[in-house]
Amino acid sequence: MNVHEYQAAEILARYGVPVNPGRVAESPEEASAVAAEYGGTVVVKAQVHTGGRGKAGGIKLAHSPEEAREAAAAILGMDISGHTVNKVLVAKGVTIAQEFYLGVVLDRPNRQVLVMASAEGGVDIEEVARERPDKIVQRRADPVLGFHPYLARELGFALGLPATQVNGFAAIAQQLYEAYMGEDATLVEVNPLILTEDGEWRAIDSKMSFDDNALFRHGETEQMRDFAEENLTELDARNSGISFVKLDGDIGCIVNGAGLAMATMDAVKQHGGEPANFLDVGGGASASQVAKAFSLVTADPNVKAILINIFGGITRGDIVADGIREALAEVEVSAPIVVRLSGTNADEGKDILAKAGLTAVDTMDEAAASVVAAAHGRAD
């Protein structure tokens, strides 16, 4: 789960991070009022769950409340990579002496939490990592004891900070680590973290993502969810234990298991089709799950044909077939359906499907070829 910049800043402030003052506004008038309160220059920033805001014109400087109103009017409603801007953050202007990057992520290969920093702040850190990896310094936290202060200081010295600034930096690095652990984040990032001309640290732009598996113990994070930024269908699916990701093609896919679901999408593509979605019905694949899956897939007007690919393991083929039959009695599906059923009780399942007027094929390749043909309106 992701949150907006202003929400990440709120969380980090609770951990002591010196975030730059700012307030969220949903109208030009509100933006102007915040600017009037702060006085001087403010920055008006689009709040959307995507990068590239600056390049898209979603971040503007304003030197007066009137300019802030105009900037907000221009940014609100803007579309940035498919995300509509509904809120702006009006942040106090600062004079930047030096910019840094500071982030906390999971180091998957080492199964440890990694704190990384760079003196090349304010730019795309992935680009820095690719092109100038020596400009990134990193230290891994002890899995049990955490991120020792000396590790944070080492980062500061490695960045070439003057001795007087190392402790201030190290404190922020530790606060970010504490926030990462305390909030069950999968990413905490401040970019840029700056030194002002007065030698003070300020977190200018904060970003946080969270582990969906840990949301059960973070009700307050769940409260921050911006439904305007969520794909409601995907959220609805998740509430039913189904993993669903909307894609751009026209072949709806219903599969049991995430790996098999990806392989099914690949097979559709190899046979000249485009998957309309990724869908993993989960381990159970009960009648209600299958019915839910049908309603998710058919809600997409682009879907011209549906491929159901089930490998019966613990999930029995006859149970899934029953689910398909019951679901079809409940949900009207006009698109042609191709079913592939294999594994446990596949033959019993096929008999059930035959009574419902559906023919099941044996292999995934066959199924992919048939569904692509069906979607393109050809006989197989």
Q: Is 363 in the site for other proteins (CB under 8 A)?
A: yes
Taking the complex as a whole, how short is the minimal distance between the CB of residue 369 and other proteins, in angstroms? 11
- Is 101 catalytic? The answer is yes
Helix (H) or strand (E) holding 295: helix 287-298
The rounded distance, in Å, linking the Cα atoms of 239 and 93 is: 42
Cis peptide before 192 (omega within 30 of 0): yes
Residue from 37, 54, 112, 347 binding other proteins (CB under 8 A):
112
Nearer to other proteins, 196 or 243 (CB): 243
DSSP-assigned states of every residue in 145-167 = TB--HHHHHHHHHHTT--HHHHH
User: Contact 374/338 with Cβ under 8 angstroms?
Assistant: yes
Residues 188-191: contacts with CB under 8 Å, at least 24 apart: 188/8, 188/12, 188/103, 188/104, 189/101, 189/102, 189/103, 189/104, 189/125, 190/12, 190/17, 190/101, 190/102, 190/103, 191/101, 191/102, 191/103, 191/121, 191/122, 191/125
- Cα diameter, the chain: 79
Q: Is 76 in the site for other proteins (CB under 8 A)?
A: no
Q: Is 349 in the site for other proteins (CB under 8 A)?
A: no
Please give the structure tokens belonging to residue 356: 């419902």
Distances (CA, A) of 39 to 71, 166, 202: 16, 31, 18
Residue from 64, 343, 348, 351 binding other proteins (CB under 8 A):
343
Q: Output DSSP code: residue 95.
A: -
Q: Is 108 in the site for other proteins (CB under 8 A)?
A: yes
Nearer to other proteins, 70 or 226 (CB): 226
Site string for other proteins, 88-107 (x = CB under 8 A): ------------------x-
Taking the complex as a whole, how short is the minimal distance between the CB of residue 94 and other proteins, in angstroms? 28
Taking the complex as a whole, how short is the minimal distance between the CB of residue 50 and other proteins, in angstroms? 9
Taking the complex as a whole, how short is the minimal distance between the CB of residue 284 and other proteins, in angstroms? 10
Taking the complex as a whole, how short is the minimal distance between the CB of residue 368 and other proteins, in angstroms? 8
Q: Which of residues 117-136 bind other proteins (CB under 8 A)?
A: 126, 129-130
Of 6, 15, 101, 180, catalytic: 101
Nearer to other proteins, 99 or 274 (CB): 274
**Residues with Cβ < 8 Å from 251, sequence gap 6 or more?**
268, 273, 274, 275, 276, 303, 304, 305, 306, 307, 371, 372, 375
Taking the complex as a whole, how short is the minimal distance between the CB of residue 163 and other proteins, in angstroms? 32
Buried b (16+ CB within 10 A) or exposed e, 191-207: bbbbbeeeeebbbbbbb
Q: Is 175 in the site for other proteins (CB under 8 A)?
A: no
- φ, ψ at 235 (rounded to 5°): -65, -45
Nearer to other proteins, 216 or 227 (CB): 216
Place of tokens 């039913």: 240
Q: Which of residues 295-334 bind other proteins (CB under 8 A)?
A: 311-314
Cα 194–chain centre separation: 26
Q: Is 13 in the site for other proteins (CB under 8 A)?
A: no
Taking the complex as a whole, how short is the minimal distance between the CB of residue 199 and other proteins, in angstroms? 32
- Is 189 catalytic? The answer is yes
Nearer to other proteins, 266 or 380 (CB): 266
Q: Which of residues 199-218 bind other proteins (CB under 8 A)?
A: 211-214, 216-217
Dihedral sign (CA 346, 349, 353, 354): positive
Q: Is 58 in the site for other proteins (CB under 8 A)?
A: no
Residues serving a catalytic function are 101, 189
Residues that bind other proteins (CB under 8 A): 106, 108-109, 111-113, 126, 129-130, 143-144, 181, 184, 186, 211-214, 216-217, 243, 245, 247, 255-263, 265-270, 275, 278, 280, 283, 311-314, 342-344, 363-365
